[in-house]
Structure 1
Amino acid sequence: MLAQRKESEWENVQALPKKNKIRKTVKQRRQEKNLNNALRTRCMILFAITTIMAVFFILRSGVAASEAYQLNQMKRQATVLETENSRLHLEIAHLKSPERIQQIAQQELGMILPDKFFFSNTSN
């Protein structure tokens, strides 16, 4: 019996702190609820800030890629225009050549080169 009594006393001793741990005051529950709400709010704010920053960086990189594409397009267009400009300069030089002008004058207009050239000095 003595052994039984010690065991039952021991159970009562162990049961008391458990009851105290389980039982929380209304004030403690409110504090825990406030802490949980504060933590939840902070997590939501952190998530919102992270999301906004991610969207900002994605949009920024998209704009940069778009501008790079436009720049490459303009470079290609400039190269094409420079090539066309060079071709036109060569065509102008060909059209201005004295040999070509002489050939057109003789063949198409029927002009001939004179045998003698006379120069007049009219400067006084």
Structure 2
Amino acid sequence: MLVSKKQEWELYQEEPAPVITTSKPSLNTGLRAKCLIVVVLLALIAMFVTVRSEAIIRAGYDLVQLKAQLIKAEKENELLRLEIAKLKSPQRIQAIAANELGMVVPPDVYVINSEHQVRGEMAAGEKQNLWSSITSALKNGKTEADRDIKN
């Protein structure tokens, strides 16, 4: 008879590969919040610097414009002063008086120069002296005026 040998068969089973469980990394919300705050702060600082520099530039342009207006006003003021000086000139006034108003310049001008000034009461002799000098000056002026009329 046949003896049957027991044969051993080894069965190889594939072992399943060990399952590596990778857990999702946990979200670090604290770090994300800090990064977001830093980015927002940097953006605000950049905006502040931009707005400030724009204000400085605008002020510079305004300053240049005001200086130009000041120079223009000073030139206009100088022209007006020159025009005032021209209008006040004695030659212009004399020409207007002669041409438009028909005035004439007198040929001779007489001035009485009194050496005595009247202050308070004068002595009687001083009053007589003053009076006689005035009357003699008037008589001389009258005779000279008559002489000019006859000529």
- Which of 86, 109, 112 is the equivalent residue of 1:94? 86
Identity %: 38
Alignment correspondent of 1:114: 106
Question: Which protein has greater RCO, CA pairs closer than 8 Å, 6+ apart?
Answer: 2
DSSP 3-state at the match of 1:119:
coil
Matched, 1:79 2:71: yes
Alignment correspondent of 2:32: 40
- Aligned partners of 2:112, 2:78: CA distance in 1, in Å? 41
Report the aligned-residue RMSD. 2.4
Deviation at residue 121 of structure 1 after TM alignment: 2.6
DSSP 3-state at the match of 1:56:
helix
Deviations 1:76-114 (A, max 9, x none): 111110011000000010011111111111111111111
Deviation at residue 23 of structure 1 after TM alignment: 5.1
Runs of 4+ in 1 over 2 A off after TM superposition: 120-123
- Aligned partners of 1:106, 1:23: CA distance in 2, in Å? 118
Alignment correspondent of 2:45: 53
Deviation at residue 120 of structure 1 after TM alignment: 2.2
DSSP 3-state at the match of 1:111:
coil
Which 5+ residue runs of structure 2 have no aligned equivalent? 1-16, 118-151
Structure with the larger helix share:
1
- Aligned partners of 1:40, 1:116: CA distance in 2, in Å? 107
DSSP 3-state at the match of 1:101:
helix
- Paired residue type of 1:41: A
TM-score, normalised by the number of residues in structure 1:
0.71
- Paired residue type of 2:35: C
- Aligned partners of 1:58, 1:118: CA distance in 2, in Å? 81
Deviations 1:47-90 (A, max 9, x none): 01001001101110111121112111111111110011000000
